[in-house]
Amino acid sequence: MTGIPDTMTAISIIEPGAPDVLVPAQLPTPEPGEGEVLIKVAAAGVNRPDVLQRKGGYPPPPGAPETPGLEVAGTVAALGKGASRYALGDEVCALVAGGGYAQFCSVHETNALPVPKALSLIEAAGLPETFFTVWTNVFERGALKPGESFLVHGGSSGIGTTAIMIANALGARVFATAGSADKCQACEGLGAEICINYREADFVEVLRAATGKRGIDVILDMVGGDYIARNIKLAARDGRIVNIAYLNGSRAEVDFLPVMLKRLTLTGSTLRIRPVAEKAAIANALQTTVWPLIEAGKIKPIIHQVFPLAKAAAAHALMESSSHIGKIVLTVD
Ligand SMILES: NC(=O)c1ccc[n+]([C@@H]2O[C@H](COP(=O)([O-])OP(=O)(O)OC[C@H]3O[C@@H](n4cnc5c(N)ncnc54)[C@H](OP(=O)(O)O)[C@@H]3O)[C@@H](O)[C@H]2O)c1
């Protein structure tokens, strides 16, 4: 590839462990395959699944790079055979199955989206993982409709802040939970009608009262544990509960009677393993429905802190402290 170095700096996980196992290394620059674009990465988003991968709990799917990183933004530096959607030099952001913490990253062109006009490359790098996840889980699996009520747990997370903004912009009545007064204030500032500090109040009681005992139509949960039974208790008739993680465990003693009586749907999904074509369908839906809201300034990703690529370990330590609100992003020279 002309003008592209044979090797690049990328972050390696030298062994499963604490954040300091993330170290810069020289690796071969990837070659874009058929239908793929090679992106010269300007910024890469950090996500909780990267932390799990670093600890050895979330291996890359077959064929994906070992290098962590699920989302990038940058410029198109080379085109694989048959790739025609973008031209060299175009600014794109992309969902990748791995390899984002690097100077170059290749991705199928259908899993890349143009950088919305209103955003910097740093802001755009924080879009794909949470926007794809929220779209497919809340609006496809959960089928959230305007006027319905929506609760997201972990409201201050990258996922949570994204879910609050999109659901609010698309006309839902939005509620959230988070672990401190500051985080709750931030969630309410983004459009949550009430954010419950779960360390101080019972979200089931507060939200049954807030909805006149009707309950919540769609719940997006990453916590699991005792939230599994509490979500079922809180769900409205025909409610949908979508799990995208089980930070507090995936086993629980549950009374399933309300699932039948209230006609509930319990579902969930993981994004990384899904085929390119399914991710492309999500990308198309986002481009049609959500990108215009970003370009109109109605939704803007919340960037908590930016670190240079070589400081990926510090970025992970911050994420594990859970003191952040919104996204953590790495910048790449
Ligand atoms: N299934 C999928 O496709 C998919 C895709 C992307 C992400 N995810 C999952 O979605 C979750 C959010 O991801 P993210 O990147 O947005 O993460 P993040 O920004 O690090 O946020 C996680 C937040 O969850 C809250 N939390 C609640 N209980 C927790 C616990 N037991 N341990 C740690 N944090 C806890 C924390 O805030 P407070 O406790 O202070 O409120 C924390 O800030 C992660 O679990 C991730 O694995 C799933």
| pLDDT per position as a tens digit, 264-314 | 999 999 999 999 999 999 999 999 999 999 999 999 999 999 999 999 999
Within 8 A by CB and 6+ apart from 74, the residues are: 39, 40, 41, 42, 43, 91, 92, 105, 121, 332
What value does the mean pLDDT take over residues 176-202?
98
pLDDT band at 228 (very low <50, low <70, confident <90, very high): very high
Residue 254 has pLDDT above 90, yes or no: yes
pLDDT of residue 42: 98
Closest atom of ligand 1 to CA, residue 324:
43
Closest atom of ligand 1 to CA, residue 51:
47
pLDDT band at 2 (very low <50, low <70, confident <90, very high): confident
159 lines ligand 1 (CB under 6 A): yes
Residue 129 has pLDDT above 90, yes or no: yes
Give the E-state strand segments of 80-155 in sequence order.
Answer: 91-95, 104-108, 112-114, 149-152
Residue 1 has pLDDT above 90, yes or no: no
| pLDDT mean across residues, the chain | 97
149 lines ligand 1 (CB under 6 A): no
- Three-class SS state of 163: helix
The Cα 34–Cα 78 span in angstroms is: 12
12 lines ligand 1 (CB under 6 A): no
Query: Ligand 1: which residue has its CA nearest to atom 22?
Result: 157
Query: Ligand 1: which residue has its CA nearest to atom 3?
Result: 270
Asked whether the CA dihedral 88, 91, 96, 101 is positive or negative, the reply is positive
Q: How far is CA 209 from the centre of its chain?
A: 30
C-alpha of residue 47 to centroid of ligand 1, in Å: 9
Helix residue ranges per DSSP H, the chain: 48-54, 121-125, 128-134, 158-169, 181-190, 203-210, 227-234, 257-261, 276-289, 291-295, 312-321
C-alpha of residue 225 to centroid of ligand 1, in Å: 14
Residues 22/63, Cβ–Cβ less than 8 Å: no
Query: Ligand 1: which residue has its CA nearest to atom 45?
Result: 245
pLDDT band at 31 (very low <50, low <70, confident <90, very high): very high
What value does the mean pLDDT take over residues 165-171?
98
The Cα 301–Cα 304 span in angstroms is: 10
Helix axes 181-190, 158-169, angle to 10 degrees: 30
pLDDT of residue 41: 98
Q: How far is CA 28 from the centre of its chain?
A: 27
48 lines ligand 1 (CB under 6 A): yes
pLDDT tens digits, 92-128: 999 999 999 999 999 999 999 999 998 999 999 999 9
What value does the mean pLDDT take over residues 5-15?
98
pLDDT of residue 3: 83
Q: Give the pTM.
A: 0.97
